[in-house]
Amino acid sequence: MPLDYRRFNGPEDSIPYNYYTKEYLKSYHELHRELIDENGVRKDGRTLDEARSLCMFFARTDMISQAKGSAYIELKKTKVVCSVFDPREIMHQNEFSALGQLFCEVKFAPFSCPRQRRPHAPDAEEKALSVALRKALEPTVCRHLFPNYQLDIFVYILEHDGACLAAAINAAGLALADAAVPMYDIITACSLAVIGDQMFVDPTEAEENLAIMNPEKDGINNGLITMAVMPELRQISDFRQIGSMDVNCIMKATEVLQKECEKILPNIQQILVLNVVNSFEQQKQLEKEAKEREAALNAKMEEWKTLLNAG
């Protein structure tokens, strides 16, 4: 790898210490056995079809003071920050385009992954996530309102514990609404990991990792699915599947994901409504203060006038 002269670099051949721990050498079967106990309860106490959105979901807007709109989403350990800026000129563009463009960038923090440190330079996974995010958001934004310009959407993953893309889409949707970007609908997303005949809704990093690992036998379903939905318009804006699975499995997974996305919706709606209420109250307070000041000013004017008239 070429040396990054813009940053401080460590020694070239450094290795994460967990390569030398006992944890590292586990086989596929051992890892699989660890994920779920005999009662069907996952490591973090959830059942297979239970998403983190119901019990461990935390989201807020207005995280970043410098951005037009921003959001933060936490799914237990997965932590994602997103900010949206005003439209700006598209660099090196010569053609007239009737629709505005979205520029999405997903970045992992160097310390975000539990396995190894991520390099600073953007890698293939980040690029793939950025494109996926852009494709998912494009149908929801009223792009005809800013022709020839682009909207910047930056997503930063502080900690990666599975369902990154889903969290990024949810956060971006919230941030867009917070920035008052006209949108056709709210967007919600959810992901699912398939390992054999088990479906892990809203998987953790360990589950995702196993789902994309090649199983030792052929013909076993495995893979990851992420789906983004516009719930009010009943449309799917993005569907992404990796791994190999049969048709029945996908049909079933789509149904499960559809339900999950609808479950997230009230959470997001609540945040947006609360925002409107808060900003309305703030505005009212400001108007009240402004009126008081204006009254004080007018009183002073009258005072001066009488003084002037008196000579």
Partner 1 sequence: MAEVYKLIHPVKYFNDYINRNVRPDGRKFEDQRNIKLNVNAIKSTDASAVVKCGNTTVVCGIKLELAKPKAEEPDFGFLVTNVELLPLCSSKFRPGPPSDHAQVISNIVADIFANSKSVNLKDLCIVPDKLAWVVYCDMVCLDNDGSVVDACIMTLITSLKSLTLPKVNYDVETEEISVDTSIRTPLNINGLPVATSFAVYQQSPRSIVLIDPSAYEEEMCGGTGANLIICWNNGQFCGIQKFGGSNLSNEAEKKTLIIAKERSKLVEKVIETCLKNEIK
Partner 2 sequence: MNSERVKDIGKICIPGMRLSPSDKEHISGPGTYELKGYIYASLAGILKMEQDESTKATKVSVISSRTPSVLPMTGDIVTAKVTVVNSRQVQCVILCVGPSVLVRPYKGILKKEDIKFTDKDRIDPYKCFRPGDVILARVLPMTEIHWYHLSTAENELGVVIATAEGSPQGVSMLPISWSEMQCPKTLIKEPRKVARVIPENINQSLFPIDNKGEVKENGL
Q: Is the four-CA dihedral 45, 36, 229, 69 of positive or negative sign?
A: positive
Pick between residue 49 and residue 105 the one whose CB is nearest to partner 1: 105
At its nearest, how many Å lie between partner 1 and the CB of residue 119? 11
Burial of 207 per CB tally in 10 Å (0-12, 13-18, 19+): buried
Q: With CB under 8 A as the contact rule, which of the stretches 147-155, 234-242, 271-279, 292-300 interacts with partner 1?
A: 147-155
- Each residue 105-144 as x (binds partner 1 by CB under 8 A) or -, in order, gives x-x-xxxxxx--x--xx-----------------------
Pick between residue 33 and residue 120 the one whose CB is nearest to partner 1: 120
Nearest to 200 by CA among 35, 88, 74, 64: 35
Alpha-carbon gap, residue 277 to 292, rounded angstroms:
23
Half-sphere exposure of 6 (CA within 13 A, CB side): 2
Q: Which does 169 bind (CB under 5 to 8 A by kind): partner 2, partner 1, none?
A: none
Burial of 50 per CB tally in 10 Å (0-12, 13-18, 19+): middle
Q: What are phi and psi of 244, to 5 degrees?
A: -125, 135
Compute how many other C-beta atoms are within 10 angstroms of the C-beta atom of residue 310. Answer: 6
At its nearest, how many Å lie between partner 2 and the CB of residue 256? 23
Pick between residue 47 and residue 278 the one whose CB is nearest to partner 2: 278
Q: Which does 145 bind (CB under 5 to 8 A by kind): partner 2, partner 1, none?
A: partner 2
Q: Which does 155 bind (CB under 5 to 8 A by kind): partner 2, partner 1, none?
A: partner 1
Which residues are bridge partners to 198 per DSSP? 195
Tokens 């959810």 belong to residue: 190
Nearest to 79 by CA among 147, 175, 156: 156
For residues 54, 58, 61, 62, the Cα torsion angle rounded to the nearest 10 degrees is 170
Count of residues engaged in binding partner 2, rule: CB under 8 A: 52
Q: With CB under 8 A as the contact rule, which of the stretches 42-50, 121-129, 157-165, 183-191 interacts with partner 2?
A: 183-191
Q: Which does 107 bind (CB under 5 to 8 A by kind): partner 2, partner 1, none?
A: partner 1
Q: Which of 1, 2, 3, 6 touches partner 1 (CB under 8 A)?
A: 6
Q: Which does 20 bind (CB under 5 to 8 A by kind): partner 1, partner 2, none?
A: partner 1
Compute how many other C-beta atoms are within 10 angstroms of the C-beta atom of residue 212. Answer: 13
Does position 65 interact with partner 1 (CB under 8 A)? The reply is: yes
Q: Is the four-CA dihedral 138, 142, 145, 151 of positive or negative sign?
A: negative
Does position 186 interact with partner 2 (CB under 8 A)? The reply is: yes
Beta strands in 148-230 (DSSP E): 149-159, 188-195, 198-201, 222-230
Q: Which of 1, 3, 10, 218 touches partner 1 (CB under 8 A)?
A: 10
Does position 231 interact with partner 2 (CB under 8 A)? The reply is: yes
Pick between residue 116 and residue 283 the one whose CB is nearest to partner 2: 283
Per CB under 8 A, residues contacting partner 2 are: 68-69, 85-90, 93-96, 142, 145-149, 151, 177-186, 230-233, 269-270, 272-277, 279-283, 289-290, 293, 296-297, 301
**Site residues, partner 1 (CB under 8 A):** 4, 6-11, 13-18, 20-21, 63-67, 70, 77, 79, 81-83, 85-86, 105, 107, 109-114, 117, 120-121, 152, 154-156, 158-161
